[in-house]
Amino acid sequence: MRLMTCVCWTAVGLAAASFQTPPPLSRSPAPTAEVRVRIRNVFGAERLQLHQSYTTLPGDVVELTRYAYYLSNLRLQRADGTEWREARSWHLLEVNEDGTSDFTFALAGVPAGEYTAIGFAVGLDSVVNHGPDRAGALNPDFGMFWQWESNYVFLKCEGYFQKTAREQGAFVYHIARDGCYRPVTLPLPAGHLALTAEVPKTVEVMADARRLFGGFAGAGLTLKLAQADSAASIMSGRNATRLADNYARMFAVGRVLSQ
């Protein structure tokens, strides 16, 4: 009897072993690619530089002494409406005294496939604008934060305009608060951003500061600085939201390049 019991249990054990779930097959990770987004700040057809004279669309001659703004929530959109979004996505772009006016962001781990639009926002959404994070580009020491309101300044544009042949006036635009956050979506040329794992690509986006001053069809606000009744200082109120409408229209896709 003892021998038969052992044989039975041995048979049961062998049968159970033969029906064990096999280990899952290892899957290769889905292919991803790197996309570089290059923001090129210009004034009309010219590269944007500080302390250089430019003519606005309404006809004023201006010279910028400071120009800085936040871009956030970068995303790439497919034809079916699905999106890839950059994590912790906020970038401070400031045209420097040394002549730097182009800025490049590397977006790693973007799933392979074709993308039909690029999107981002000017400013910071309310969660980030009023959140506790103050690291990196959000450091208040960059001078883009209103301590008395706990608000970030989304765009700063300061400089001079020519009032008369011999006289200059100053302008100051500090645009802040949640109502001036502006999402932007730009269509991409068909087939130009088809990503594979082997070939990183660069999307150039032109950011035309001339349009900040208005003077184009659909502008939220047109600034005529040489006129006595023009607003040369804007920091809040209705004119700030109108100026935000202008900076939402500064951007256009340039080239899409393979590296």
Please give the Cα distance from 79 to 14 (Å, whole number). Answer: 54
Q: What is the mean pLDDT of residues 131-158?
A: 96
Paired residues of 32 in beta bridges? 111
Q: How far apart are the first and last CA of the chain?
A: 78
The size of the chain, in residues, is 259
Under DSSP, the state recorded for 199 is: B
Residue at 201: amino acid letter: K
Return d(Cα 164, Cα 60) in angstroms, integer.
10
pLDDT tens digits, one per residue of 191-221: 999 999 878 999 999 999 999 999 999 999 9
Q: Distance between CA atoms of 238 and 108, rounded to whole angstroms?
A: 39
**Burial class of residue 64 in the structure, from the number of CB atoms within 10 Å of its CB (0-12 exposed, 13-18 middle, 19+ buried):** buried
Output the pTM of the full model: 0.88
Query: Six-digit token pair at 72?
Result: 């956030």
pLDDT digits (tens, 9 = 90+) for 86-136: 999 999 999 999 999 999 999 999 999 999 999 999 999 999 999 999 999
- 123 touches 173 (CB < 8 A): no
Any idea where the domains of the chain sit in the sequence?
29-258
3-class DSSP state of 197:
coil
Confidence of residue 17 (pLDDT cuts 50, 70, 90): very low
